[in-house]
Structure 1
Amino acid sequence: MQRNPFERVGVVGLGKMGAAIATALVKKGTKVYGFDPNISESPVPGVTLVGTLDAISKESEVIVIAVKPNLVLPVLKEFSKPSTFVSIAAGISFANLSESAPKGSEVVRVMPNLPLVSERGAMAYFCEDPVAPSVERLFYGMGSTIRIAKESLMDAVTGLSGSGPAYVLTFLQAMAEGGLQEGLSYEESLSLAMETIEGTLVYFRSLRNEDASLHPMEVRNWVTSPGGTTIHGLDALERGGFSTAVRDAIKRATERSKELGKG
């Protein structure tokens, strides 16, 4: 893997995810050029706004397309110079990206998520073999990257890790509200809930580093005593359909990603 960052990267679209990627790139020392006709000044310090897609193309070694899915292909068709284009849009196929980009371009499908700003992103990508090192180079230092062998699985990635931060934050809020309901202040509950979620994941990851076959349920059983508080809490979760609801959320988000790809 090449760890030295690109010197110049263009980002088209500086909404939440585009700005997050731009922020992470600036932190790495990359010169970032942004294009977004909906803003008059960059939301990210260190990003140079340019007025045209031609200027982005001229200044950048690789270009991240971070606009809404329905705009990805029209934007690509506006470019005249071949480049390496990285699309983060859900549902837009590799074939359509390739057909819309200037002839001679290289294209990549990536599904990142917002924690990349904190160097804890979970990103999966699909591309042709020669481009893979460039993808790893672009996202190095932003979290973990996984190359997907079958493009059809990118929709599942979207449903799981792309949308996943929203599921986790919903769970976090529910835990905080549960503590509030039982008499803790909201700030006390939120603090305890955040540390519990983060601490559990750090702990489980350390265990997996020693035993890669370790299953989450095995560790869960360590803190689930017969007749104790945890088993009663878990029973309430399952009676409420917790596990099924999480699986259904990922399934529905995956289906929506497929729908977006059909236009």
Structure 2
Amino acid sequence: MQMNPFKAVGIVGLGKMGSAIATALVKKGTKVYGFDPNLKESPVSGVTLVNTLDAIGKESEVIVIAVKPNLVVSVLKEFSKPSTFVSIAAGVSYSTLSQSAPKGSFSVRVMPNLPLVSERGAMAYFCEDQVVSSVERLFYGMGTTTRITKESLMDAVTGLSGSGPAYVLTFLQALAEGGLQEGLSYEESLSLAMETIEGTLVYFRTLRKENSNLHPMEVRNWVTSPGGTTIHGLDALERGGFSTAVRDAVRRATERSKELGKG
């Protein structure tokens, strides 16, 4: 179902994620106003850079707060006009957002990830019922959105999908280096590794449409022959602690998100 984009959205902080969201919004035809005191010109074509937070508040229907966690409270307190404030800061609680924003505002806590620029983002959010439709409109066309009904799980979202692209890219590089070590050129290895990762995910997603209970390990077994190459490769992964290391990465990133929330 097509959703009409907002006419104007403000973004405070045009770093990597703020710029990614701005880029995706501009693609949808949304007017985007940006504020970032560290920039003299917008890093994203189509974004109008303004000099004050008041200008952001005056022109925007929704305001995305994309600054470092330790700056969120001070930024919100600079606004005088109530609005819908969407924070993407890790660890900053919903209650902190609500207490810091102007009276009468709506607050939203969101954890997006960078693939949203390519319309393949994984976004989870926590908010009041009244603004669910606004959040869905804001991120429509950027990927998958999931509403989290228990705020404490937002830290796990941060550890999994928020930080997840870095884990995947690390795995990608390791695969490419493995091919390089065995004699392939780096470009050959990287190309094969990228297509292998993407192709496998597309294939598994297609299978899940037919059987929503299908487990990844079941499909893995299809390509794991007795005494074959794959089982030897999997054995090396497990001896190296691969699965445990990935789970630990999610756990540690989750813990860090909680630590950031404590200031």
TM bucket (normalised to shorter chain) is over 0.9
How far, CA to CA, are the matches of 1:85 and 1:130 in structure 2? 13
Question: 2:77 matched to 1:77?
Answer: yes
Hey, what does 2:167 align to over in structure 1? 167
Are the equivalent residues in 2 in contact too, given 1:2–1:136 (CA < 8 A)? no
Question: What amino acid sits opposite 1:82 in the alignment?
Answer: P
The answer as to 2:171 corresponding to 1:177 is no
TM-score by length of 2: 0.99
Find the residue that maps to 1:5 and give its secondary structure: coil
Instruction: Check if 1:28 corresponds to 2:28.
Output: yes
* Paired position in structure 2 for 1:131: 131
User: Aligned partner of 1:260: which letter?
Assistant: L
Report the 3-state secondary structure (helix = DSSP H, G, I; strand = E; otherwise coil) of the residue aligned with 1:78.
coil
Deviations 1:94-135 (A, max 9, x none): 000000000000000000000000000000000011110100
Which one-letter code corresponds to 2:177 in the other structure? E
Match of 2:89?
89
- Displacement of 1:2 in angstroms is 6.9
Q: Secondary structure at the match of 1:207?
A: helix
Structure-2 separation of matches of 1:51 and 1:218: 55
Q: Describe the SS at the equivalent of 2:224.
A: coil
Residue of structure 2 equivalent to 1:156: 156
* 1:159 CA drift (Å): 0.1
Structure 1 runs of 4+ aligned residues shifted over 4 Å read: none
Structure 2 partner of 1:210: 210
TM-score normalised by L of structure 1: 0.99
In structure 2, the residue matched to 1:103 is 103
Specify the SS of the correspondent of 2:77: helix
DSSP 3-state at the match of 1:64: strand
Aligned residues of 1:17 and 1:114 also touching (Cα < 8 A): yes
**For the residues of structure 1 that align with 2:178 and 2:73, how far apart are their CA atoms?**
45
Question: C-alpha deviations, 1:155-186, integer Å up to 9, x for none?
Answer: 00000000000000000000000000000000
- Any gaps of 5 or more consecutive residues in structure 1? none
Aligned to 2:121: 121
Residues 44-64 of structure 1: per-residue CA shift (max 9 Å, x gap): 000000000000000000000
CA separation in 2, counterparts of 1:88 and 1:107? 11
Residue 218 of structure 1 aligns with an amino acid whose one-letter code is E
Residues paired across the two proteins, number? 263
Alpha carbons of 1:187 and 1:2: their partners in 2 closer, same or farther (altered >3 Å)? closer
Q: Structure 1 vs Structure 2: percent identity of aligned residues?
A: 87
Could you list the runs of 5+ residues in structure 2 that have no partner in the other structure? none
* Cα separation, 2, equivalents of 1:68 and 1:42: 18
CA distance in 2, matches of 1:81, 1:7: 18
Deviation string, structure 1 residues 182-226 (Cα, Å, up to 9, x no partner) = 000000000000000000000000000110000000000000000
CA distance in 1, matches of 2:149, 2:12: 27
